[in-house]
Amino acid sequence: MKSCIVSEFRSYIDLTDQECELVQSLERDPREFRKDEIITAEGDPAKTIFTISSGWVASCRHLANGNRQILDVYLPGQIVGMRKIGFEQSMNSIVAIGPVVACPYPKRNLIKTFDDSPRLTEVVMLMLAQQQSLLVERIMSLGQRSADCSLAHFVLELRARLKTSDLNLKTPLTQELIADTLGVTSVHISRTLTDLTQKSLLEWSAGTFKILNLDALVELAGFDPSYLEPDVNWIRDP
């Protein structure tokens, strides 16, 4: 399989051969996970980071009452668990949405990379900053947007992250996953979806969204993709 993580890094900067090698070393040990398998659990020691080769993954946290909040959805090529750099214990679990191939590697390896390449360190920092802006957008949805706006925004964000111009998005998500992401119940997602369908904005069936009216959806969501477009100019030359 072509290295997902290399092409992820390449989407930020050009890699020298040596850098390429360094990055590749993060994707050496592919492991398969079944749908709904817990890749790491809350409270586990924060020693292992994962790179996703294929499939989607969610990081989530549970409250004492059992409520689950999905913090972020990760797509192939992404590094999962970078927050763990700063902590001894993993504070959220990572779950496979559908079948997944992911490569675990010790946190130490990533830190080692910092020693070897200040340039890659800067890319990692950029990734952290970008993840923050995803979290910020989630906060906006949870705190200020109504369910229909949030849902529209969520779909548009996914589409932008998938870098596709297709109006049909195939996902391994369920309505319950979406609900736990947007902080509402799955029942409410169902109703909201039929609402949006009646308004000829969006359809959902069997795991795929079909965008019926892109402009109206963007308008409803107030979607501005600039938070997904990083600035790489400050990163030093090789």
**Residues binding DNA (CB under 7 A):** 146-148, 174-176, 183-188, 190-194, 204, 206-207
- What DSSP designation does 222 have? T
26 within 8 A of 124, measured Cβ to Cβ: no
| Strand positions, DSSP E, 11-92 | 31-33, 38-40, 48-62, 68-74, 79-80
Residues 62-91 as x/- pattern, contact with its own copies by CB under 8 A:
-xx--xxx-x----------xxxxxxxx-x
Measured from the CB atom, the residue of 140 and 216 that comes closer to its own copies is: 140
CB of 168 to DNA, least distance (A): 15
Q: Rule CB under 8 A: choose which of 139, 187, 200, 238 binds its own copies.
A: 139
Alpha-carbon distances, residue 10 vs 78, 98, 128 (angstroms): 12, 26, 16
238: contact with its own copies by CB under 8 A? no
SS3 16: coil
Residues 104-123 as x/- pattern, contact with its own copies by CB under 8 A:
---xx--x--xx--x--xx-
17: contact with its own copies by CB under 8 A? no
Q: How far apart are CA 5 and CA 215, in angstroms?
A: 33
Which of DNA, its own copies, none does residue 167 bind (CB under 5 to 8 Å by kind)? Answer: none
Q: Which helix (H) or strand (E) holds 125?
A: helix 118-144
140: contact with its own copies by CB under 8 A? yes
